[in-house]
């Protein structure tokens, strides 16, 4: 995904985000094949060349004596989040959060009835919101993401996640994670890998749910960051989030963040868009066995179908580069026998 912390990108997608909030649920919601109860490896993956290539890679790098053996300390796998681990259509979840927060906070800000961009957000006039440009985007980000302690922000995200539902699938966003990818992450960890999330989304937003949803602890989540101010409030030290961007973790920023935070080049990388291109390039350019993989959204019935023409999760250059670089392209429709976890589980 591209970062929502880039104001230009934020404004581009505001209309789509609000549409996701206010439009009635779509018909034809996904039907899911039941998750296999068998103990076979990656049960939500069909027995295709894609699945076999993933298992083959893991087998090669974890078999002692193999020429491709990789010590556990070097088994690092990185995953994009939006569109790779959970849904990103019709709007990034964090964008939906921001716009719904404006509505929730509006009673405390009567001035928003006449102040842009809030007036237009509340009226659903996204054309006028977009006309406010980066200034308007910055105001929305400041109102919904800044001016509070890190603990307060995480609590706000937690409470929102507990009640917010996707309008099409009518399920909480934390249930719209990809079951095959959950299995893949668990499979890698079982085989001595350390799994990291490397996302253009806000790091604190993702950290609130990453451990309970993905099994990835907060210290293994890398994302775009805001600047903090250290303060003492009522005798208690706090970090207050400022309306300023510290780092945007997208595109070429992803390899830089990985090097800065992890300090090792991953041996496996998973993405779904051109925003992940450099992460896959950098990962697979290293010495020894390497795995790069792209999730190709091809299933309009069970999820969505999009790639080159999409404004979110655009997959164009990376898709062209995949064959020449030996990257695995996961065809969601053909390679997965289920998409989301069974809600009964």
**Cα–Cα distance between 66 and 62 in angstroms, integer?**
8
pLDDT tens across 29-75, in order?
Answer: 433 333 333 348 999 999 999 999 999 999 999 999 999 999 999 99
Output the CA torsion 246→116→100→257 (10° steps): -10
Say if residue 185's pLDDT is above 60.
Answer: yes
Question: What is the 8-class DSSP label of residue 146?
Answer: S
Say if residue 162's pLDDT is above 80.
Answer: yes
pLDDT at 129: 80
> What are the structure tokens assigned to 9, written together?
């990108």
**Cα–Cα distance between 120 and 113 in angstroms, integer?**
9
Among 247, 246, 267, 244, which residue's Cα sits nearest to residue 256?
Answer: 247
pTM: 0.89
Name the H helices within 247-316: 253-261, 277-284
Mean per-residue pLDDT over the chain, rounded: 90
Say if residue 103's pLDDT is above 60.
Answer: yes
Span 292-316, mean pLDDT? Answer: 97
Name the H helices within the chain: 7-12, 14-22, 49-62, 93-105, 118-123, 126-131, 133-145, 150-163, 179-190, 203-214, 253-261, 277-284, 317-325, 332-335
Over pLDDT 70: what percentage of the chain? 88
30 or 144: which carries more pLDDT confidence? 144
Say if residue 314's pLDDT is above 60.
Answer: yes
Residue 13 backbone phi and psi in degrees, to 5: -100, 5
Span 78-89, mean pLDDT? Answer: 98
Domains defined along the chain, listed by start: 7-24+46-335 (3.40.50.1000)
Over pLDDT 90: what percentage of the chain? 78
pLDDT at 345: 62
Say if residue 5's pLDDT is above 90.
Answer: no
pLDDT at 169: 97
């Amino acid at each position: 995904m591209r970062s929502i912390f880039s104001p230009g990108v934020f404004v581009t997608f505001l209309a789509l985000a609000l549409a996701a909030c206010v439009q009635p649920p779509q018909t034809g919601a996904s039907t899911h094949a039941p998750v296999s109860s068998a103990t076979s490896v990656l049960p939500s993956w069909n027995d295709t060349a894609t699945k076999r290539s993933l298992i083959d890679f893991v087998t090669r790098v974890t078999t002692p004596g193999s020429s491709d053996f990789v010590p556990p300390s070097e088994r690092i796998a990185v995953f994009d989040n939006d569109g790779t681990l959970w849904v990103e259509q019709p709007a990034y979840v964090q964008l939906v959060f921001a716009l719904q927060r404006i509505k929730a906070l509006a009673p405390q800000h009567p001035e928003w009835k006449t102040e842009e961009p809030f007036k237009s957000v509340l009226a659903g006039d996204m054309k006028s919101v977009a006309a406010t440009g980066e200034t308007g985007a910055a105001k929305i980000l400041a109102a919904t993401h800044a001016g509070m302690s890190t603990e307060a922000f995480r609590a706000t995200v937690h409470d929102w996640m507990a009640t917010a539902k996707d309008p099409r699938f009518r399920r909480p966003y934390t249930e719209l994670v990809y079951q095959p990818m959950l299995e893949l992450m668990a499979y890698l960890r079982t085989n001595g890998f350390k799994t990291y999330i490397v996302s253009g989304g806000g790091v604190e937003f993702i950290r609130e749910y990453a451990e309970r949803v993905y099994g990835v602890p907060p210290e293994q989540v890398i994302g775009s960051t805001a600047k903090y101010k250290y303060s003492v409030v009522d005798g208690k030290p706090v970090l207050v989030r400022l309306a300023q961007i510290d780092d945007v973790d997208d595109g070429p920023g992803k390899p830089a963040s990985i090097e800065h935070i992890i300090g090792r080049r991953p041996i496996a990388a998973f993405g779904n868009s051109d925003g992940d291109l450099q992460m896959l390039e950098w990962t697979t350019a290293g010495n020894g066995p390497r795995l790069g993989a792209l999730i190709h959204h091809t299933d309009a019935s069970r999820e969505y179908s999009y790639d080159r023409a999409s404004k979110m999760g655009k997959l164009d250059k990376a898709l062209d580069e995949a064959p020449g670089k030996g990257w695995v392209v996961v065809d969601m429709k053909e390679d997965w026998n289920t998409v989301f976890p069974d809600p009964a589980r």
